[in-house]
Chains A and B, each alone.
Chain A
Amino acid sequence: MQMSRRLKRKIALLVAVVAVSMVVMGVLLSGMQENLTLANYTSEMEMETEQLHTLLEEAEAENAQNKETFDAIYQSKAQSVSFMANNNVGFEQTDAKMDELQQLLEVDNIMVVKADGTIVAKAENTRANFSYARFNYLRECLTTGEPSRAVEIELPEEDWLMRYYAARIDADTMIVIEQNPAELRDLVETTGSTASVLRNVSIGQGGYVFALSAQTYTIDYHPNEELIGADALDAGINVTDLEDGNTTWMELNGQKLYCRITLIGDTYYICAVPASDMAASRNVTVAVILFVFFVVMATVALYGVFVMRQEERDGTTAENFTKLGHLRFNRVIGKRAAVFAVVGLIAIVLVSFYMQTLFALSSQSVTNKERTAQVAETISRTNDRADDLTEQYNQRHLSKARVATYILERNPELANKAKMQELADALQIVNVYMFDINGDMIASNAPYEHFSISDDPEDQSYEFRQLLQGVDEFIQEPQHDDTSGALRQYIGIATYDENGFVDGFVQIGIRSSRLETLLESVQIDRVLDGVKAGTSGFAFAVNKDDGTLAYYPDSMVQGKDATKIGLTEDQLTGDYNDYLTLEGQTYYAASVETSDYYVYVAGSEGDLMSQRIPLTITTAIIALACMALVYCLLTLEPASGTMAARLVSDDKGDGRVFDIETPSGRRAKTESAASRWLNRSLDWDTMTPEQKLGYVLRIFMAIAVVMIFISVLFRDKIFGSDSVFGYILGGGWSNGLNIFAITASIMTACVIFTVSFVIQKVLHMLSTVLSARGETVCRLLISLTKYGAILGTLYWCLATIGVDTATLLASAGLLTLAISFGAKDLVTDLLCGLFIIFEGEFRVGDSISVGANTGTVMEIGIRTTKINDGSGNVIVLRNSAISNVINRTKLDSFANIDVNINVGEDLTRLENILQIELPIIAQRQPMILDGPFYRGIVNLTESAMTIRVAARCSEKNRGAVERNLKREMRLMLTRYNIAPYTLQFPHEDDQVTKEDAKAKAELEKADEFLESQDESMSKLKGDEKE
């Protein structure tokens, strides 16, 4: 069919407009989305930067603290040796003594050094030359009497890393301890290094912070360890971008990053978010909205085109147009296109809003989840560290206790308060006690004189009794002092007399403020105090055991029941992820389970959520503008142009498409039921615009479904496992009526329907090549797949949305009852359907009679069976209603006719006539395979006798044969003047000779007519089975 040039021009214009609208929409949408995302990330990065300052300061302080603690230990060791030297405990300036002390103090080297740097005695050789001014710090102790500051020498190339400490022996001599600070370095590396700080900072989902030196531009820290030490400029960073406070795009190692640069000290700290991270989710959002926009635009435009094509075919009349100045308005297109446009616009708005919400909430969820994970990690890490450090401190303090014991054992004269105080000072501990074999205190630096360790197992001191019973050392757990509340730890070491028998023990008391701070920092409130989630977010924790609030920013409610602030029982889980109402405020929250708590991070919805409405409105406005343009193009045309002439009038539809009048009075075209059920596609040209549009929409729908299917199947490759959409598909959200559950339901439905569609198509193809039984089974399987998919989807979606499906299915409640009543017939139908198929009562293609209905079986469904009654009517029978089936499918059938004849007629003559005439009928009727046969009298009354004639024929011809036989009988009986079939209305021209010939000619004519009727009839039935 030819298209007019006018239409071609219009179509080209429409395509152009749609394309331009798509581009405009795409650019604007992704631009807006990107700006929004960037703004969001910028503010987050600003916040992180602020935090980074404090974090780094804290790390710095921690490092200083660690160093101080480390130095204090070795200073006290040096000081204790100095104490020994001055208190007559067998100290000598010999190498042997140095060896002994090295063992006792657990240090790398210990030396006696003169002020000028000469080494008097040493445990090991040293590389240090103490005469250099470099060691002036050590000499300080000679004047102050206090242990010296540390001197560190680090020459990596010579493998020389040592710290030196000194304590005064006399005015010219000092004790010098040499110690490798590897332990300190390790501690700094794990707790206070840049890497240890930055490792814990994350931005959004995949963002991180990396550091690069402002001097060498080498990367000091990057989550990807391969990049550490690489040249940042080489890796793609532009040196001009590296300015404090700059927010820009950078490239690192081929990855595009959105960065904010902060210069702290000599290091650039760069908060970076990978572009791919931002793009993945954003692109999906934009793509979905664009797709819907395209579908709507295409629908409106295509509909217009289809209608115009139709008009060209059918011709248009002037009454379809309204004149508007120089233009005319096509009312036919206008009305319906307007409907499509409005519905489409609503769809765009809804989808846009939906996608924005999804995007915003899932970003928020992922962020919250990550925060909670971080908190959980922090908690477990601090716990581990507390354990480690407690152990470390125990060892250090034990060493001090050993030194105290060593000293007190060697010089019992020191057992007086003044000396004990001096010793405690040297060892940097609070208390030193000395006990005798009875557990009575001999001496101490404590303000009290008399103390005995308790006999009561409940008392704190009782545990030290074991030292008198053969245990060498005992380290008590740190405990809070009853009176001061400070954390105290006691360590005891048994002392022995000359014969090696226990004669008491030495106990030291330590108050480690460092350990105290550390143990405090493990407390949940300390961990959660600093957690920020967006501008108004915070973290809180609920005790797992009793459901009380272990931490909440408002200290007033701390310790109260969690339900008091609005949490419900089912929100107390470790994987909560949804809205929460706390004290009347709504937050978006996520939770995580730790060993003791449920930790929640609750934040406001965030900027993305608040930007949804403006974004949606903008989208709608753009869509409206584009739509208006397309609409005008479709409906308006120059008034001067000619009307479309009727080009084609042929109806190629074979009567399958025809006009009907809908209840609303509108004329519409429809396709016949049989044609629809037989799944035959129509010729494109014969379709109505609505049909064409439906066809196109189905294609769009299919594309959407298949795309969702593909994206679900290959989600990790397309989105990455930690992206927002990965999150939706991953199912980390909570079930319930929320946007994730709905999205997941839609996605699942798409997957199930795609699979079921493919299965149905395959089965359908199979059914065309299989036998009748195979076809039946295929059709059944198709039905099963169809219903299975629907029921499965329904079940899964209900479960996802939070309906308790198990209860739904199992409960014997009112609902089930109601459903079971309603479903009773359905179940019967289903069962009957199964029996029909498996017992093989009939198959597709069989001729059957059910009650008054006779026809060919078209389809055996799971619920209904469709039969074609031979005149094109499709009878839909419920399977349960199919009983007393007569299956007429057999090789040969008999056509029986009964003829009533007056009882007074001469039967013998009749039978003689039949004998002659029946073979003649057989010749005239080729459909008769055998016969006809005379079967005698089947009924006899006082007025009539009924004779039967039967003929063998194929079942499908039976009806025709019966009709023909009846006709033949009538003609024959009339010819032989058999009552009551005598010719009662003889016609005028009774000329015998002519009569025969004329009768013969008439008969031939009648036969021809009959044949032609038969032919046209079979044509009318369609050729479905031929």
Chain B
Amino acid sequence: MKLTRREFGKLACACATLPVAALLGGCTGGRFGQAGSAAASQKVGEGTLRAGVRADVMGFGYLNEQTGNYYGLEIDIVNGLAERLGYKDVEFVTVLPDNRKEMLLDGEIDLIAACYSIADSRLENFDFSPAYYDDQIIAVVQNTSMIKTIEDMKGRTFGTMAGANAAPLLSIKLYEMGFSNGEAISYNEDNTNVQFDTWHLLQFPSYQELSDALEEGAVDAMVLDGAIAKTYMDDKRTYIEDFVVAEQSFGIATQKDSALSEPIASAIQEMLDDGTIDELTDKWD
């Protein structure tokens, strides 16, 4: 377990620190917030709100390539937010799990609304609004593999998307339920292929590739956010019953202590209180 934690801590650190360190000349992890505030010097409600959103998650952030427009719950929330904060324009920028942190830290975007779950590790670097959507990380299998319960997965391969926090959460979950001892037996350089005692982990650069690997059989179960899983479900696939890797909540992330953090948090709270978010969730469900 320790090894695993250390392993993933290292992973997260590497991802978060390197580009910023290069940019700001060696700030440590704990001081990201201040640097971020400096970058976002713009006043609230002025100019254009730049929002980092997903382009490939149906119902949350989806880019129609024919028209170049984004649709989804997060898009509507950001639009509502901009309206409440007094922005005239909203610019949507497609972000990937790989680069969203950097883009926010670099000040390329003002906020992340991209199925970004509120996690302790992330709270160190970012401010989060109250959660606007509660989700679960789940495992999807092919019917033809006849895998029904998590026990059937013993000795088999899990797939996740690199950059999402599904992999660390999965390893913790499997350890906690006694499925595995948490020891990684072997792993490659970028942790995309890790062998544990009772399971195997493969990580893929995109959800589509993850889904394809499941179709082909290279992975026996894919672990991902429930919201995203919907996009990749069909009648030949099913969830592993009674197996939830983690509960998580999506929130809007802003740079630590930035001028936007407080107004966004209160605006989202307001939208939660007056039922706007319920309405939007209902609309996009």
Contact = CB atoms under 8 A, between A and B. Distances in A.
Interface of A: 128-129, 132-137, 140, 149, 151-155, 157-158, 215-218, 230-231, 233-234, 239-240
Nearest to B58: A215
B144 A216 contact: no
B197 interface: no
Given A155-B212, A231-B67, A234-B66, 19 more contacts: A128-B217, A129-B218, A132-B145, A132-B216, A132-B220, A133-B145, A133-B217, A134-B142, A134-B217, A135-B144, A136-B144, A136-B145, A149-B144, A153-B215, A153-B216, A157-B212, A217-B71, A231-B64, A231-B71
Nearest to A117: B217
Contact of A134 (B64, B216, B231): B216
Interface of A is mostly: mixed
A152 B220 CA distance: 15
A113 to B, nearest CB: 14
A561 B182 CA distance: 84
B144 A151 contact: yes
B156 interface: yes
A54 B275 CA distance: 36
Interface string B106-145: 0000000000000000000000000000000000001011
Contact of B220 (A133, A151, A153, A217): A133
A231 B66 contact: yes
Interface string B65-79: 011010100000000
13 contacts: A129-B217, A132-B145, A132-B217, A132-B220, A134-B142, A215-B58, A215-B231, A216-B62, A217-B71, A231-B64, A231-B66, A234-B69, A240-B283
A727 to B, nearest CB: 38
Interface in B140-160: 142, 144-147, 156
Contacts of A216: 58, 62
B147 A133 contact: yes
A215 B230 contact: yes
A153 B236 CA distance: 10
Which of A129, A149, A216 has the most B CB atoms < 10 Å from its CB? Answer: A216
B139 to A, nearest CB: 13
B145 A234 contact: no
Contact of A132 (B62, B218, B283): B218
Contact of B67 (A128, A153, A234): A234
A234 B212 contact: no
B284 to A, nearest CB: 8
B66 A134 contact: no
B59 interface: yes
A161 to B, nearest CB: 11
Nearest to B209: A157
B283 A134 contact: no
Given A217-B71, A233-B71, A240-B283, A133 B230 contact: no
Nearest to A136: B146
Most A C-beta atoms less than 10 A away, residue of B67, B142, B220: B142
B133 to A, nearest CB: 16
Nearest to B141: A133
Contacts of B147: 133, 136
Contact of B69 (A136, A153, A231, A239): A231
Given A157-B212, A215-B58, A134 B220 contact: yes
Contacts of A230: 66
Contacts of B144: 134-137, 149, 151-152
A78 to B, nearest CB: 16
A874 B62 CA distance: 90
Interface string B148-185: 00000000100000000000000000000000000000
Contact of B283 (A135, A152, A154, A239): A239
Nearest to B212: A155
Given A134-B217, A215-B230, A152 B236 contact: yes
A137 B236 CA distance: 12
Contacts of A134: 142, 144-145, 216-217, 220
A234 B58 CA distance: 16
Interface in B40-74: 58-59, 62, 64, 66-67, 69, 71
B215 A154 contact: yes
Of B67, B145, B147, B217, the most chain A CB neighbours within 10 A belong to: B217
Nearest to A128: B217
B234 to A, nearest CB: 9
Contacts of A240: 283
Given A134-B145, A152-B236, A234 B216 contact: no
A160 B66 CA distance: 26
Interface in B183-210: none
Nearest to A129: B217
Contacts of A136: 144-147
A569 B212 CA distance: 66
Interface in B60-104: 62, 64, 66-67, 69, 71
B248 to A, nearest CB: 21
Nearest to A235: B67
A455 to B, nearest CB: 54
A153 B142 CA distance: 10
A154 B214 CA distance: 11
A153 B213 CA distance: 11
Contacts of B156: 133
Contacts of A157: 212
Interface string B251-285: 00000000000000000000000000000000100
Interface string B229-241: 0110000100000
Contacts of B66: 230-231, 234
B215 to A, nearest CB: 6
Contacts of B67: 231, 234
Nearest to B142: A134
Contacts of B62: 216
Given A133-B147, A135-B144, A155 B217 contact: no
Contacts of B145: 132-134, 136
Nearest to B59: A215
A155 B215 contact: yes
A133 B146 contact: yes
- Ranked 10 nearest A-B pairs via Cβ: A134-B217, A132-B217, A133-B145, A136-B146, A137-B144, A151-B144, A215-B58, A231-B64, A133-B220, A234-B67
B143 to A, nearest CB: 8
A903 B66 CA distance: 124
B57 to A, nearest CB: 10
Contacts of A153: 215-217
B209 to A, nearest CB: 10
Nearest to A148: B144
A154 B236 CA distance: 11
A816 B196 CA distance: 109
A326 to B, nearest CB: 63
A863 B59 CA distance: 84
A987 B142 CA distance: 148
A133 B236 CA distance: 14
Contacts of A231: 64, 66-67, 69, 71
B242 to A, nearest CB: 19
Contacts of B217: 128-129, 132-135, 153
A137 B146 contact: yes
Contacts of B231: 215
B200 to A, nearest CB: 12
Contacts of B64: 218, 231, 234
A234 B156 CA distance: 44
- Most chain A beta carbons < 10 A, residue from B64, B147, B156, B283: B64
B156 to A, nearest CB: 6
A136 B141 CA distance: 12
B18 to A, nearest CB: 32
A215 B285 CA distance: 8
Contacts of A218: 64
A132 B200 CA distance: 13
A402 to B, nearest CB: 30
Contacts of B216: 129, 132, 134, 153, 155
